[in-house]
A and B are shown apart, each in its own frame.
Chain A
Amino acid sequence: MVPQDESLEIAAGWADLERARSGSEKAWRLLFEQYSPRLLRMAALMTGSTDAARDCVQETFVRLLSAVVTHQRGTLRAYLSTIVYRLALKENVRQGRRTPLQAAESASSDPSPLDQTLVDEQQREVARVIRMLPGHHRDILVLRLHGGHSYEEIAEITGVSLGTVKSRIFYAVKSVQRELKNRGVV
């Protein structure tokens, strides 16, 4: 059974979306302001670039306008995270396809890597360690600790089993903890 707070969030989120899609500029702006900061942070950690993150979030809202939502089982927040997660995956695949020379050129010319947006050296160190994780571990860690999603939601978003999600979050945090201890951060 879905807890009452959660069912309220589910109903409110989809109702806001319906208002926006029926033409309410105010509802649309509120949705954007409510969800975009968290989505942007998640996308930045998944892709390692704030420019790519901005594109992902922008595209997410463009898709939200025209998407045909056939079910409203989960929260709108989880639905948005699913779109961001898939776009970030696509972006990482695209980056991975570049030749080493293109990647090096891009890295040297990219004005907005994640590092530059972190003012604190400790945060930069932690972000670097997270970026070193394998993608399937990193994304689940980000969805849990930055997206605030339950393990069940993460299983839905990523399309893997609940057991796999739990296993991956454990090994992801364990790896980060070990690396941060080596670097004297924790």
Chain B
Amino acid sequence: MTRHVSQDTVLKLTLGLLQPPAEQRVRDHLRGCTKCLGLMEEAERTVRVIEEITPDITARLPVLPSLRPARSGWFRVAAMLAAGFALGVFASESLRSPALTVVRQQIVPAPPAGPADGFVACDAIDVSGGMLWVEL
């Protein structure tokens, strides 16, 4: 009878981690050794209970994403930039202080009023020769 195999070796066999010559040696031993066969069953049971975990996920299934023509990365970047620019313009317009309305109005000079108190009306002023002549 060959030597017993370790628990680690049995676990490696269960997980398919042994190289073919070693695997064959262990399998040969297991055929005639109930003690080591017990270790093998224990390792297999462990793997089975791990595999059996089945979360009930039916209530939380993801939604099928809509099928649309695949876009390249550049297209998406450009679309995001355009959207960002549009959003920025909109935001800046909204945040700006209330717009000033400029009303263009033609200013028509008022007709000359009559002379103020203490003055007399004259038709022309002649400043020739350095003297001021007022023609009444």
List residues of chain A with CB under 8 Å of any chain B CB.
20-21, 23, 25, 28-29, 32, 36-37, 40-41, 44-45, 50-51, 53-55, 57-58, 61-62, 65-66, 68, 112, 114, 117-119, 122-123, 126-127, 130, 141, 145-146, 151, 166, 169-170, 173-174, 176-177, 180, 185-186
Contact = CB atoms under 8 A, between A and B. Distances in A.
B76 to A, nearest CB: 8
B132 interface: no
B57 A126 contact: no
**Looking at chain A's contact residues, is the secondary structure mostly helix, strand, loop, or mixed?**
helix
B56 A118 contact: yes
Interface of B: 8, 11-12, 15-17, 42-43, 45-47, 49-57, 60-65, 67-73, 76
A130 B47 CA distance: 12
A36 B62 contact: yes
B11 to A, nearest CB: 6
B18 to A, nearest CB: 10
B65 A61 contact: yes
Contacts of B51: 145-146
Contact of B12 (A112, A145, A170, A186): A170
A161 B56 CA distance: 34
A186 B53 contact: no
A61 B46 contact: no
Contact of A37 (B12, B42, B57): B57
A117 B69 contact: no
Contacts of A21: 70
Contact of B11 (A62, A145, A177): A177
8 contacts: A25-B67, A28-B64, A50-B55, A54-B62, A57-B62, A146-B53, A170-B8, A186-B45
Contacts of B43: 173, 177
B56 A126 contact: no
Contacts of A37: 57
A28 B69 CA distance: 12
Contacts of B60: 40, 50-51, 53-54, 112, 117
Contacts of B50: 126, 130, 141, 145, 173, 176
A176 B74 CA distance: 46
A46 to B, nearest CB: 12
